[in-house]
Amino acid sequence: MRGTTMSALVGVIMGSKSDWSTLSHTADMLEKLGIPFEVKVVSAHRTPDLLFQYADEAEGRGIEVIIAGAGGAAHLPGMCAAKTHLPVLGVPVQSSMLSGVDSLLSIVQMPAGIPVATLAIGKAGA
Protein backbone atom coordinates (compact mmCIF):
# COMPACT_ATOMS: atom_id res chain seq x y z
CA MET A 1 0.00 0.00 0.00
CA ARG A 2 1.14 3.50 -0.66
CA GLY A 3 0.28 7.12 -0.16
CA THR A 4 1.86 10.40 -1.15
CA THR A 5 4.45 12.34 0.79
CA MET A 6 2.61 15.66 0.51
CA SER A 7 -0.03 16.59 3.06
CA ALA A 8 -2.94 14.30 2.20
CA LEU A 9 -6.30 15.69 1.08
CA VAL A 10 -7.95 12.29 0.65
CA GLY A 11 -8.05 9.45 3.13
CA VAL A 12 -8.32 6.01 1.53
CA ILE A 13 -9.33 3.44 4.13
CA MET A 14 -10.25 -0.21 3.91
CA GLY A 15 -11.48 -2.91 6.24
CA SER A 16 -8.61 -5.34 5.56
CA LYS A 17 -5.41 -5.63 3.54
CA SER A 18 -7.20 -7.90 1.08
CA ASP A 19 -9.34 -4.91 0.03
CA TRP A 20 -6.20 -3.26 -1.41
CA SER A 21 -6.67 -5.21 -4.66
CA THR A 22 -9.74 -3.00 -5.20
CA LEU A 23 -8.67 0.24 -3.49
CA SER A 24 -5.32 0.29 -5.31
CA HIS A 25 -7.31 1.51 -8.32
CA THR A 26 -8.41 4.50 -6.24
CA ALA A 27 -4.77 5.22 -5.40
CA ASP A 28 -3.81 4.93 -9.08
CA MET A 29 -6.45 7.50 -10.09
CA LEU A 30 -5.54 9.92 -7.30
CA GLU A 31 -1.89 9.71 -8.36
CA LYS A 32 -2.82 10.39 -12.01
CA LEU A 33 -4.80 13.45 -10.89
CA GLY A 34 -1.99 14.66 -8.63
CA ILE A 35 -4.17 14.55 -5.51
CA PRO A 36 -2.24 13.77 -2.31
CA PHE A 37 -3.70 10.91 -0.27
CA GLU A 38 -3.02 8.56 2.60
CA VAL A 39 -3.87 4.87 2.89
CA LYS A 40 -4.81 3.03 6.07
CA VAL A 41 -6.39 -0.27 7.10
CA VAL A 42 -9.04 0.30 9.78
CA SER A 43 -11.78 -2.22 10.45
CA ALA A 44 -15.23 -1.34 11.74
CA HIS A 45 -15.33 -4.80 13.36
CA ARG A 46 -11.76 -5.69 14.33
CA THR A 47 -10.37 -2.24 15.22
CA PRO A 48 -13.35 0.06 15.88
CA ASP A 49 -11.40 2.32 18.26
CA LEU A 50 -8.76 2.87 15.56
CA LEU A 51 -11.51 3.67 13.05
CA PHE A 52 -13.11 6.18 15.41
CA GLN A 53 -9.74 7.82 16.09
CA TYR A 54 -9.01 8.02 12.36
CA ALA A 55 -12.41 9.59 11.59
CA ASP A 56 -12.19 12.01 14.53
CA GLU A 57 -8.70 13.25 13.58
CA ALA A 58 -8.92 13.24 9.76
CA GLU A 59 -10.19 16.80 9.32
CA GLY A 60 -7.53 18.17 11.68
CA ARG A 61 -4.84 16.56 9.50
CA GLY A 62 -6.18 18.33 6.41
CA ILE A 63 -8.19 15.45 4.95
CA GLU A 64 -11.11 16.79 2.89
CA VAL A 65 -12.81 13.54 1.86
CA ILE A 66 -12.63 9.89 2.91
CA ILE A 67 -12.95 7.00 0.48
CA ALA A 68 -13.83 3.86 2.43
CA GLY A 69 -13.82 0.42 0.84
CA ALA A 70 -15.22 -2.68 2.50
CA GLY A 71 -16.70 -6.03 1.59
CA GLY A 72 -19.33 -8.34 3.04
CA ALA A 73 -21.16 -6.61 5.87
CA ALA A 74 -19.29 -3.45 4.75
CA HIS A 75 -19.95 -1.30 7.82
CA LEU A 76 -16.76 0.75 7.43
CA PRO A 77 -18.13 3.63 5.30
CA GLY A 78 -21.21 4.10 7.49
CA MET A 79 -19.33 3.91 10.77
CA CYS A 80 -16.79 6.38 9.43
CA ALA A 81 -19.56 8.76 8.33
CA ALA A 82 -21.09 8.52 11.80
CA LYS A 83 -17.86 9.86 13.34
CA THR A 84 -16.94 12.70 10.95
CA HIS A 85 -18.49 15.65 9.15
CA LEU A 86 -16.27 15.04 6.14
CA PRO A 87 -17.80 13.57 2.98
CA VAL A 88 -17.47 9.77 2.91
CA LEU A 89 -17.53 7.81 -0.35
CA GLY A 90 -18.20 4.09 0.03
CA VAL A 91 -16.66 1.54 -2.33
CA PRO A 92 -18.37 -1.87 -2.14
CA VAL A 93 -15.62 -4.48 -2.46
CA GLN A 94 -16.62 -7.49 -4.52
CA SER A 95 -17.20 -10.57 -2.38
CA SER A 96 -17.02 -14.21 -3.38
CA MET A 97 -20.46 -15.17 -2.10
CA LEU A 98 -22.70 -12.47 -3.58
CA SER A 99 -20.34 -10.70 -6.01
CA GLY A 100 -20.40 -7.51 -3.94
CA VAL A 101 -24.17 -7.04 -3.90
CA ASP A 102 -24.09 -7.61 -0.14
CA SER A 103 -21.46 -4.87 0.21
CA LEU A 104 -23.42 -2.52 -2.04
CA LEU A 105 -26.66 -2.93 -0.10
CA SER A 106 -24.88 -2.51 3.22
CA ILE A 107 -23.29 0.78 2.13
CA VAL A 108 -26.22 2.27 0.23
CA GLN A 109 -28.82 1.72 3.00
CA MET A 110 -27.63 4.27 5.58
CA PRO A 111 -29.98 5.74 8.17
CA ALA A 112 -31.00 9.38 7.97
CA GLY A 113 -28.23 11.72 9.05
CA ILE A 114 -25.39 9.35 8.13
CA PRO A 115 -24.79 10.16 4.45
CA VAL A 116 -22.46 7.95 2.42
CA ALA A 117 -22.02 8.50 -1.32
CA THR A 118 -22.09 4.96 -2.67
CA LEU A 119 -19.99 4.03 -5.70
CA ALA A 120 -20.08 1.03 -8.04
CA ILE A 121 -18.98 -2.43 -6.93
CA GLY A 122 -15.29 -3.29 -7.13
CA LYS A 123 -12.76 -1.77 -9.52
CA ALA A 124 -15.45 0.27 -11.32
CA GLY A 125 -16.24 2.10 -8.08
CA ALA A 126 -12.68 2.46 -6.94
Residue 105 belongs to what H/E stretch? helix 101-108
Show me where the domains of the chain are located: 14-124
pLDDT of residue 60: 96
- Can you say whether residue 96 is alpha, beta or left, with left for phi > 0 and alpha for psi between -120 and 50 degrees? alpha
pLDDT digits (tens, 9 = 90+) for 70-99: 998 899 999 999 999 999 999 999 988 899
Consult the annotation and say whether 43 binds a ligand: no
Consult the annotation and say whether 46 binds a ligand: yes
pLDDT digits (tens, 9 = 90+) for 3-46: 665 799 999 999 999 999 999 999 999 999 999 999 999 999 99
The dotted CATH code for 14-124 is 3.40.50.1970
Consult the annotation and say whether 61 binds a ligand: no
